[in-house]
Amino acid sequence: MNEILSRLLDAARSDASLKKALLASETAADPMAEFCRVASEAGFPVTVGELFAMGQEYTDNLLKSVNGGAEYPMEGWEDTYELFLAALKIS
Give per-residue pLDDT as tens, 13-55.
999 999 999 999 999 999 999 999 999 999 999 999 998 887 6
What pLDDT, on the 0 to 100 scale, is given for residue 91?
A: 79
CB of 62 within 8 A of CB of 78?
no
Q: What is the DSSP string of 14-64?
A: H-HHHHHHHHHGGGSSSHHHHHHHHHHHTT----HHHHHHHHHHHHHHHHH
Q: Between 56 and 44, name the one with better pLDDT.
A: 44
Give per-residue pLDDT as tens, 58-80.
666 666 656 666 666 556 556 88
